[in-house]
Structure 1
Amino acid sequence: MRAAFLPGGSRVDLREVPDPTPGHGQVLLATKASTICGSDLRAIYREHLGEGPEAYQGVVGGHEPAGLVIAVGTGVERITVGDRVVVYHISGCGQCDECRAGYQISCTGTGRAAYGWQRDGGHADLLLAEERDLLVLPESLTYLDGAVVACGFGTAYEALCRVDVSGRDRVLVTGLGPVGCAVGLLAKAMGSPLVVGTDPSPERRALALDLGAVDVAVSGADDDLDALLDGPGGGAEVAVDCSGNGRGQLTALRHTRRWGRVALVGEGGQLSVDVSEVLIHRQLTVHGSWVTSTGRMSELLTNLARWGLHPERLVSDTFGITEAAKAYEVADAATGGKVGITWPDDDAPVADRP
């Protein structure tokens, strides 16, 4: 099979490797869609950090896959050949408290392995996954929908659930990349009457508006936000930072109204804040929110089908597996939406197809 590896230095290495065979409790997928995440760009494509959860082990890249089940190993009971599935991108030990709660992202066991980081991921014709990591796609959702849910939309939904967003809440989103746009789309679906977005990039502000992810998009200047969010107490009831930048994080905190709720989602950045003035005296509730759980992701898939909301609308560019290098180049330019690698049905692997 064809598979894309990320050797660092902004390179992609496409290789022919042996087809995997499912073992006990494992499932073999014909990959149909595998999108590119900002963390892949930051920590693997450009350079290898080599530490903790971001320790890339030279495996097939891609942690946002969805595909068709073409074979199952012994002991597989829930998933069957022919199922259309999305892959929860962390395979945990299954025994620690975090795993048993469904938050494999926070697994504390030595067996924790992320697809595309410590075990082979979705940038290949075939993917070997653990049954426990798979969620069946509702019929109305596409493979590309599933791939976008696998990390970005799941992360956005978890953050909004943490801050308990509803129709009573105006929402401020700082950082209008794919995750920020997902936050905006989901906040609207969950009832928010106003979503305001900030991003220094005019291209990303324009894209967020075109997608309908935000009602208003500004560069982030304090005066602009004060004018937009001048309700009782000033500021939005809910803010979600997706920038991963200290300046964006501080903007989110400063422009949340008294007794408001904030979720910090964007990875990275250094934040310096006057704790008394910004947090304590204004009675803010601040959540650090890292990806999501399998239970919450299952809930999200059901809700997306019910809402008629298709995450694939965030995808601005798609490429075949032979164009993986170009896909990463376009994603790294950060001027468009989500970038995906896709497999048309007539080009799918034929091994053991139903």
Structure 2
Amino acid sequence: MSPIPASFRGVVLPGNKTCVLNTYDVADPGPNQVLVQVRASSLCGSDLRAIYRPSVHKTGPEGYTGVIAGHEPCGIVVKCGSEVSTKWRIGVRVIIYHISGCGACRSCRKGLYISCSSETRRAYGWQRDGGHGEYLVADQQSLVALPQPLTYIDGSIVACGFGTAYAALLRAQVSGRDSVLVVGLGPVGLGVALLAQRLGAQKVLGIDIEQDRVLFATNLGIEAMQHGEDDAALVKEWLGASGLESDGVDVAIDCSGNSAARSTCLKAAAEWGRVGFVGEGGTVTFDVSSDVIHKNLSIFGSWVCSISQMEELVENLCAWNLHPECTVSHTFVLEEAAKAYEVFDSGKTGKCTIVYQGEQKEYDRP
């Protein structure tokens, strides 16, 4: 392992679709912290929506304070604080769960750091330095072990995108009895579709407005179709052609945040079906009686997985031999961060990831 330098480079997102590369001093970890050499840091749609695009950043949980961006980091421990467990010794490969909670409230005691309401709550890449830098100081409570054969790129995608997808499927209780619709085939939607397959769903269908994303999903072995005039009708035709006698899908999950897509989920769901809203932002309007009450639908929102669910997901990925990096369409080095965000903002890609220390791979698939 190479010596730790005195300084490193990191990217901040001032808004207005700009990226700035700065130089920072490498900090010593505190007693319960580790210094991580970052090896991969993936981009997330929430980075685009709430940090990269806005002219004025929000306050609250999504407030961005000008720190090093990137809330999907993965890397290797290179220095430990005095009170860190030997589990996180130097050389251990780690995913960083992207919320650091107070550790004392009811939500934190459940591992639901995302729901921590304490003023001390900090998100990596939002209120504290994140993964778009070569080094990162992380609390040991934020660490999830990255076992072989998972790669650093796999781990960075687990850190938010695949974790979010997994939590939604657990909320929906997807199993071998279910047909599943996924609307929105961005990185999270791809994760939902791939994980639903591994959880044993009878059939999985994805829909997206962008033909590029439909083709990308198809190449991953996901049945997919492009958005049409009446997607709910198309879904029911697909069910019939698949030999499933049903008035709709058992589970429909929106990963787009689009109001029409959410309506499609409600209309395409079967009676007694489950509908999940995962895509951030936007609104939806529907007829409560005909679309929900008379169909006995269950509607739920799902934000981010708990840290225990993330550990469970990592174990399952190894057992399933599923590598989240299959959803990557482009990788970039740190100096190309501006290009990475510009490409990802097109809405036509798979996952885009910043990589370090020789992790660069020839993806750049269409």
**Is the Cα contact below 8 Å between 2:40 and 2:359 reproduced in 1?**
no
C-alpha displacement of 1:2 = 0.4
Give 2:34's aligned amino acid.
V
* 2:364 alignment partner in structure 1: none
**Is the Cα contact below 8 Å between 1:233 and 1:258 reproduced in 2?**
no
**Is the Cα contact below 8 Å between 2:210 and 2:226 reproduced in 1?**
no
Structure 1 unaligned residues grouped into runs of 5+? 348-354
C-alpha displacement of 1:226 = 2.5
**Is the Cα contact below 8 Å between 2:253 and 2:277 reproduced in 1?**
yes
C-alpha displacement of 1:95 = 0.9
Within the alignment, does 1:281 sit opposite 2:294 as a pair? yes
**Is the Cα contact below 8 Å between 1:155 and 1:179 reproduced in 2?**
yes
TM-aligned CA distance change 1:66 to 1:283, over 3 Å: same
Within the alignment, does 1:33 sit opposite 2:40 as a pair? yes
* 1:188 alignment partner in structure 2: 197
* 1:91 alignment partner in structure 2: 100
Quote the sequence identity (%): 49
Structure 2 unaligned residues grouped into runs of 5+? 1-7, 361-366
* 2:239 alignment partner in structure 1: 229
Within the alignment, does 1:65 sit opposite 2:65 as a pair? no
Give 1:153's aligned amino acid.
F
Q: Tell me how many residue pairs correspond in the alignment.
A: 346
* 1:299 alignment partner in structure 2: 312
**Is the Cα contact below 8 Å between 2:15 and 2:57 reproduced in 1?**
no
**Is the Cα contact below 8 Å between 1:218 and 1:224 reproduced in 2?**
no
**Is the Cα contact below 8 Å between 1:239 and 1:256 reproduced in 2?**
yes
CA distance in 2, matches of 1:93, 1:251: 39
Within the alignment, does 1:43 sit opposite 2:50 as a pair? yes
Query: What's the TM-score, normalizing by structure 2?
Result: 0.92
Give 2:83's aligned amino acid.
G
CA distance in 2, matches of 1:147, 1:133: 13
Moved more, 63-72 or 16-25: 16-25
Within the alignment, does 1:262 sit opposite 2:272 as a pair? no
TM-aligned CA distance change 1:246 to 1:99, over 3 Å: same
C-alpha displacement of 1:261 = 1.1
* 1:22 alignment partner in structure 2: 29
CA distance in 2, matches of 1:284, 1:134: 37
* 1:352 alignment partner in structure 2: none
CA distance in 1, matches of 2:233, 2:169: 26
For 1:66-145, list aligned pairs within 5 A. Answer: 66-77=74-85, 78-145=87-154
CA distance in 1, matches of 2:333, 2:300: 38
**Is the Cα contact below 8 Å between 1:171 and 1:239 reproduced in 2?**
yes
1:203-253 Cα shifts (integer Å, max 9, x gaps): 1111111122x2232315233122113444411011111011111111111
Please, what is the CA RMSD of the aligned residues?
1.3
C-alpha displacement of 1:346 = 9.0
**Is the Cα contact below 8 Å between 1:208 and 1:217 reproduced in 2?**
no
CA distance in 2, matches of 1:2, 1:328: 17
Within the alignment, does 1:163 sit opposite 2:172 as a pair? yes
TM-aligned CA distance change 1:243 to 1:346, over 3 Å: closer
CA distance in 2, matches of 1:232, 1:211: 26
Give 1:58's aligned amino acid.
G
* 2:357 alignment partner in structure 1: 344
Aligned-partner SS, 1:297 = helix
* 2:159 alignment partner in structure 1: 150
* 2:5 alignment partner in structure 1: none
